[in-house]
Amino acid sequence: MDFLLAPEIETLANRTKAFVKEKIIPYEADARWGNHGPSEELRKELNALAKEEGLFAPHATPEFGGGGLGHLDRSVVFEAAGYSLLGPVAMHCAAPDEGNMHLLDVVATQSQREIYLKPLVEGSRSCFAMTEPNGAGSDPMMMETTATLTDDGYVIRGTKWLITGARGASFVIIMARNVGGPADGGATMFLCPLPNARIVIERDMETMDSSFAGGHSVVRFDDLVLQEEDILGEAGQGFRYAQVRLAPARLTHCMRWLGAAQRAHHVATKYAATRTGFGKTLARHEGIGFMLADNEIEMRAARLSLQQAAWLLDQGERATTESSMAKVQCSEAIWNIVDRAVQILGGQGISTETPVERIFKEVRGFRIYDGPSEVHRWSLARKAVKAMEAAQ
């Protein structure tokens, strides 16, 4: 791959770094950032700052005012945005909106683009409803939510949970298993505006993380009736479209949280370079110095891995194997880096005196989001065995 970035992308990344440090980090103490993410008022205020700087939706399609960044170019800009957990929210490149923008850009009809993608690029919010309490999760084939074809249309019944950003979203992408019709037994994605009387947010879930606008909710679909024009793409192709969304989305998670890990590392490094113990600064003790070195090594390896996968996506490759590898590598490296930062900071590391405590809680979930590490390893192992069997 070619690691060379265009000068304008380097400039954009540097502008993003300065913007996050100067304009966004001061908001981290804002009381409007609660356990279920930044309030809508705070989100819009942060969005306005990003728009003033020309840094809003840098990845989105230029058709509706986005910056149109490719996957590799996103890697440096999103990492810079992630230096504050509020950075991606401000720049409107956080999950799930960023992944939904990509999916709609690839799959939606022109009419759907105008109805759903255009407002989303301009600053509305969305959600993606696939995960279920007793069904689809790591194994989407266990999906229990159904879309039954009737004379009135498709009737959606089921319950989803851990639906990020459902509260306050302007629309939802629903994954449901088809019952009846030519797509019987397959899965289909549907688009539906929110709010809707047949879509009930039962409750907000209490989770470790707090950076996602709208938090995570349990959502019930009570005989929601949708029509053919509400189908995203083709009926029965939902699992295939899920991969269109997930492969890039895994990488953008890696990018944003690598920025957060770098922030934690910088806080710990500054502390270790100034705090003394046993006659010298902590950084001069090998036990601490080696942890700092390991952080530098793992950040570099993670960055190169995700950038190689991103480059393949830019070449038109599916890059499912590479994005899967990068997701495992980055999620575990980011966890290690932040965990070491907590250890280096000692008592401060488990307090709210620095941003590291919040980052620590935030990144733990990444080893579960978009497929747990164990599921990715299982899939990668299957591919390795199949390749060996085919070569014999």
Write the pLDDT tens digit of every residue in 319-374.
Answer: 999 999 999 999 999 999 999 999 999 999 999 999 999 999 999 999 999 999 99
Residue 149's pLDDT is 98
Residue 135's pLDDT is 84
Does residue 218 surpass a pLDDT of 90?
Answer: yes
Q: What is the DSSP string of 185-211?
A: TSEEEEEEES--TTEEEEEEEP-S---
Q: What is the pTM of this model?
A: 0.97
Helix (H, G, I), strand (E, B) or coil at 128: strand
Does residue 1 surpass a pLDDT of 90?
Answer: no
Kindly report, residue by residue over 60-119, the tens digit of the pLDDT.
Answer: 999 999 999 999 999 999 999 999 999 999 999 999 999 999 999 999 999 999 999 999
Kindly report, residue by residue over 114-124, the tens digit of the pLDDT.
Answer: 999 999 999 99
Average pLDDT for the chain: 97
Helix or strand run (H / E) with residue 385: helix 373-391
Residue 127's pLDDT is 98
Does residue 176 surpass a pLDDT of 90?
Answer: yes
Going by pLDDT thresholds of 50, 70 and 90, the confidence category of residue 159 is very high
Measured CA to CA, the distance from residue 121 to residue 102 in angstroms comes to 10
What share of the chain has pLDDT > 70, as a percent?
100
Measured CA to CA, the distance from residue 222 to residue 381 in angstroms comes to 40
What share of the chain has pLDDT > 90, as a percent?
97
Q: What is the mean pLDDT of residues 168-184?
A: 97
**Residue 97: left if φ>0, alpha if ψ -120 to 50, beta else—which one?**
alpha
Residue 333's pLDDT is 98
Q: Do 373 and 295 meet the contact criterion of CB atoms below 8 Å apart?
A: no
Measured CA to CA, the distance from residue 293 to residue 82 in angstroms comes to 21
Q: For the chain, which domains are there?
A: 7-94 (1.10.540.10), 126-235 (2.40.110.10), 239-391 (1.20.140.10)
Does residue 196 surpass a pLDDT of 90?
Answer: yes
Q: Do 116 and 110 meet the contact criterion of CB atoms below 8 Å apart?
A: no
Kindly report, residue by residue over 266-283, the tens digit of the pLDDT.
Answer: 999 999 999 999 999 999
Does residue 285 surpass a pLDDT of 90?
Answer: yes
The alpha-carbon radius of gyration of the chain (Å, integer) is 21
Pairing of β 171-179 and β 146-150: parallel
**Number of other CB atoms surrounding residue 67 within 10 Å:** 19
